[in-house]
């Protein structure tokens, strides 16, 4: 397992920090080792053919070609292994990621709204309810167009660039965009998904290590794309509650009542079609 993991390190992957990430790592490792074996095998065969069928040894062409069945068996094996990889591992893993969302009550639901060139985050605040948003209310000081007259939105938390989440609790991030197609990609969580204007695309992950992780935009989204980075801070539950309280206070939210973020997160507002989500570990989109 450790020798297998070498290839991910070699490819520059940050250490995995999510519950499902080891499965992604495993399939990546397996695919890379398999491709390495194919590369060495076919290269050896190519060199063998160059030598074996050189002109000096084989002055006249042989029109009958290969008589041994070995190449047929080899090619069939390759197709079989690839089919097993795709049907046996890749598709079930992907299906699990996009079909089996954690229950909304158990998860922290956060709206991720991308724009050129930053990520905005919208959290429901202590009341556990997202306030209404309206595109006509969007101004520089209200980047998400939160309706100031909606009581549910009074304690909502909106941040740009930095998102805090508690460790060991599933996070459902609902991705959308204000302008062009972006991609919310958190390499250490082995998760990413496109943020598309007009769509609400849910992805989910469970952080298992506290610390600070990098968020990057993985779709070429304009001139400032290179700088479209953010931070995901995975806190202990106590630190997270302290952060939540501080942000809620900054937002002028409901005071007095103890914030109960852990059980208070609401159901996702809608359940968009599952295949829209992506468990792609690569930034290619």
* Whether the Cβ atoms of residue 143 and residue 185 lie closer than 8 Å to each other: no
Residue 230, SS3 per DSSP:
strand
- Rank residues 28 and 232 by Cβ distance to Cu ion and give the closer one: 232
In whole angstroms, the minimum distance from the beta carbon of 159 to Cu ion comes to: 17
Token duo for residue 97: 């990621």
Cβ at position 194, least distance to Cu ion in Å: 10
Residue 232 near residue 171 (C-beta atoms within 8 A):
no
Please, which residue, 24 or 218, has the CB nearer to Cu ion? 218
CA 95 → CA 103, 221, 238, 274, distances in Å?
17, 28, 34, 9
**Is 219 buried (19+), middle (13-18) or exposed (0-12) by CB count in 10 A?**
buried
Structure tokens at 248: 């809620």
User: By C-beta, is 129 or 177 nearer to Cu ion?
Assistant: 177
Minimum CB separation from Cu ion for residue 115, in Å?
8
* Nearest residue (CB) to Cu ion, 106 versus 179: 179
Cβ of residue 119: shortest distance to Cu ion, in angstroms?
Answer: 8
Residue 12 corresponds to which tokens in the numbers above?
């520059």
CA–CA distance, 240 with 269 (Å, rounded to integer)? 23
Toward Cu ion, which CB reaches closer, 146 or 217? 217
Q: Are 191 and 213 in contact (CB under 8 A)?
A: no
Residues making contact with Cu ion (CB under 5 A): 182, 217, 221, 228
DSSP lists the bridge partners of residue 165 as 234
CB of 221 to Cu ion, least distance (A): 3
């Amino acid at each position: 397992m450790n020798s297998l993991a070498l290839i991910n390190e070699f490819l520059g992957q940050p250490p995995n920090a999510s519950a499902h990430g080891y499965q992604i790592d495993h399939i990546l490792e397996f695919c890379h080792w398999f491709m390495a074996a194919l590369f060495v095998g076919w290269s050896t065969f190519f060199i063998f053919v160059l030598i074996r069928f050189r002109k000096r040894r084989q002055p006249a062409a042989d029109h009958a070609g290969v008589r041994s069945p070995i190449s047929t068996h080899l090619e069939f094996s390759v197709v079989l292994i690839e089919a097993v990889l795709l049907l046996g591992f890749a598709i079930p893993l992907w299906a699990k990621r996009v079909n089996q969302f954690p229950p909304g009550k158990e998860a922290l639901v956060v709206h991720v709204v991308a724009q050129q060139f930053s990520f905005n985050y919208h959290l429901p605040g202590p009341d556990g309810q997202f306030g209404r948003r309206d595109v006509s209310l969007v101004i520089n000081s209200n980047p998400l167009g939160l309706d100031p007259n909606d009581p549910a939105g009074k304690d909502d938390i909106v941040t740009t660039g930095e998102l805090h989440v508690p460790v060991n609790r599933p996070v459902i991030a609902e991705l959308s965009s204000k302008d062009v197609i972006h991609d919310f990609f958190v390499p250490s969580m082995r998760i990413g998904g496109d943020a598309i204007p007009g769509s609400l695309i849910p992805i989910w992950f469970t952080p298992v290590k506290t610390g600070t992780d990098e968020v990057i935009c993985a779709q070429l989204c304009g001139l400032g794309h290179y700088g479209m980075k953010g931070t995901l801070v995975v806190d202990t539950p106590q630190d997270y509650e302290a952060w939540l309280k501080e942000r809620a206070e900054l937002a002028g939210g409901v005071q007095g009542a103890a914030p109960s973020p852990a059980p208070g997160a609401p159901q996702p507002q809608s359940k968009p079609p599952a295949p829209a989500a992506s468990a792609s570990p690569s930034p290619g989109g």
